Amino acid sequence: MQQLSPPPLTDVRLQDYDPDDTGGLSREEASEQQNALQDRMLALQERLFAERKKALLVVLQAMDTGGKDGTIRRVFSGVNPQGVVVSNFKAPTAEELARDYLWRIHLRVPPKGYIGIFNRSHYEDVLIVRVNELVPRAVWQQRYDQINAFEKLLADTGTHILKFYLHISKGEQKKRLQSRLDDPSKHWKFSPDDLPVRERWDDYMRAYEDALKLCNTSYAPWYIVPANRKWYRDLVVTRAIVEALEAIDPQFPEPQKDLSAIVIPD
The pLDDT mean for the chain works out to 95
Q: What is the pLDDT of residue 261?
A: 78
Other beta carbons within 10 angstroms of residue 132's beta carbon come to 12
How many Å apart are CA 131 and CA 205, to the nearest integer?
10
Tens of pLDDT, residue by residue over 230-256, are 999 999 999 999 999 999 999 999 887
How many Å apart are CA 217 and CA 60, to the nearest integer?
16
Tens of pLDDT, residue by residue over 94-124, are 999 999 999 999 999 999 999 999 999 999 9
pTM, to two decimals: 0.95
Tens of pLDDT, residue by residue over 145-180, are 999 999 999 999 999 999 999 999 999 999 999 999
- Asked if residues 55 and 110 have their Cβ atoms less than 8 Å apart, the reply is yes
How many Å apart are CA 161 and CA 115, to the nearest integer?
10
Q: What is the pLDDT of residue 96?
A: 96
Tens of pLDDT, residue by residue over 46-62, are 999 999 999 999 999 99
> What number is the average pLDDT over the span 193-199?
89
Task: Kindly tell me if the per-residue pLDDT of 2 is higher than 70.
Answer: no
Q: What is the pLDDT of residue 27?
A: 97
How many Å apart are CA 92 and CA 241, to the nearest integer?
29
Backbone φ, ψ for residue 149 (5° rounding): -65, -40
Residue 52, helix vs strand vs coil: coil
Domains assigned to the chain: 14-248 (3.40.50.300)
